[in-house]
């Protein structure tokens, strides 16, 4: 397009008065641009592919006439326009559609492209599923560790409670030395010079908290008829067995 000559009559005749509203100027400019586009579209020559497509669409949309040899043979055999094919009329009514390949890719390329897209989608779904499983497994492991820590803290508290009760009940029976060093809550000492105490300490350290709790509660029940979960000292073994639910925290829950 040639550049607009600002000294031409077309430019001079434009209404550029200061009082002309801005909306009117914009509207006129838009209308001028649309007219120019329409003129360019009319003057543009259609490509060979576009002309072939228009002719092909026109032929496919039009019905077959008597000049078509195939249609003429069908009519001789009794076929009527709009009737389904076949002796009993169970065949197709419309002709088989014509699928024209316009791209430059080889045969089967679209199927291959579709299959790759499906495989990519399936791989993405599998990754999401595996990630979800990993998150669920991590959450389960966290809950198990948290529950285990809670149970360990509870057992440690029950052990300290049993040690205090054992020390108090032993002293009431004038027992000055515990049966095991860890049966009582040991006072904090910086240095321990007694070798026997060190050996006992090593032996007790080999036991877990649950094992210590089981041994100590059994000692309290047998020696003092006392249950730490009931918080009661029974009169005799018969009274203990008949009135105490059991010898563990689970039996008392």
Sign of CA pseudo-dihedral 113, 118, 119, 121 = positive
Instruction: Place 193 in a pLDDT band, splitting at 50, 70 and 90.
Output: very low
- The pairs formed by 241-247 with CB atoms below 8 angstroms and a separation of 24 or more are 247/217, 247/218, 247/221
pLDDT of residue 18: 55
pLDDT exceeds cutoff 90 at 73 = no
Report the alpha-carbon angle 174-177-181, nearest 5.
145
Higher pLDDT, 120 or 229: 120
201/180 Cα distance (integer angstroms) = 10
Beta strand pairing status for 226-227 and 232-233? Answer: antiparallel
Average pLDDT over residues 185-206: 54
Q: For residue range 1-57, list pLDDT tens digits in order.
A: 445 554 555 554 555 555 555 567 777 888 888 888 887 777 666 777 777 888 877
How high is the mean pLDDT of the chain? Answer: 77
Residue 9 phi, psi dihedral angles, 5° rounding: -65, -30
| Span 240-251, average pLDDT | 75
Whole-number pLDDT of residue 116: 93
Q: Computed from CA positions of residues 68, 74, 76, 81, in that sequence, does the dihedral angle turn out positive or negative?
A: negative
Of 191, 192, 193, 216, the closest CA to residue 204 belongs to 216
Residue 192 has pLDDT above 60, yes or no: no
Q: Which of 22-26, 56-60, 151-155 has the lowest mean pLDDT?
A: 22-26
Query: What pLDDT, in 10s, does the model give residues 103-129?
Result: 677 777 888 889 999 999 999 999 999
| Section 228-247 average pLDDT | 82
Q: What is the mean pLDDT of residues 67-80?
A: 80
Q: What is the pTM of this model?
A: 0.42
Q: How far is CA 141 from CA 27, 133, 134, 136, 151, in A?
A: 70, 12, 10, 9, 15
Task: Give the DSSP letter string of the chain.
Answer: -PPP-TTSHHHHTS---TTS-HHHHHHHHHHHHHHHHHHHHHHSPPPHHHHHHHHHHHHHHSPP-TTSHHHHHHHHTT--TTPPSSSSS-S-SSPPP-----SSSPTTHHHHHHHHHHHHHHHHHHHHHHHHHHHHHHHHHHHHHHHHHHHHHHHHHHHHHHHHHHHHHHHHTT--S-SSGGGS-PPP-S----HHHHHHHHHHHTS-HHHHHHHHHHHHHHHS-EETTTTEE-SSHHHHHHH---SSHHHH-
């Amino acid at each position: 397009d040639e550049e607009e000559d600002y000294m031409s009559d077309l430019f001079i005749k434009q209404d550029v008065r200061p009082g002309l509203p801005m909306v009117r100027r914009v509207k006129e400019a838009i209308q001028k641009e649309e007219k120019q586009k329409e003129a360019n579209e009319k003057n543009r020559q259609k490509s060979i592919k576009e002309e072939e497509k228009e002719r092909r669409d026109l032929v496919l949309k039009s019905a077959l006439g008597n000049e078509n040899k195939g249609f003429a043979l069908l009519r001789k055999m009794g076929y009527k326009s709009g009737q389904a094919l076949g002796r009993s009329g169970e065949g197709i009514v419309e002709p088989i559609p014509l699928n024209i390949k316009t791209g430059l890719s080889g045969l089967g390329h679209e199927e291959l492209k579709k299959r790759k897209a499906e495989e990519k989608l399936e791989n993405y779904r599998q990754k999401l599923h595996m990630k979800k499983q990993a998150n669920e497994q991590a959450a389960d492991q966290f809950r198990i560790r948290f529950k285990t820590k809670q149970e360990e803290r509870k057992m440690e508290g029950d052990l300290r409670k049993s040690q205090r009760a054992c020390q108090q009940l032993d002293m009431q029976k004038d027992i000055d030395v515990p049966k095991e060093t860890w049966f009582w809550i040991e006072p904090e000492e910086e240095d321990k010079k007694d070798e026997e105490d060190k050996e006992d300490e090593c032996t007790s350290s080999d036991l877990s908290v649950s094992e210590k709790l089981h041994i100590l509660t059994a000692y309290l029940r047998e020696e003092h008829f006392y249950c730490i979960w009931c918080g009661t000292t029974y009169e005799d073994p018969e009274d203990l067995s008949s009135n105490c639910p059991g010898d563990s925290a689970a039996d008392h829950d």
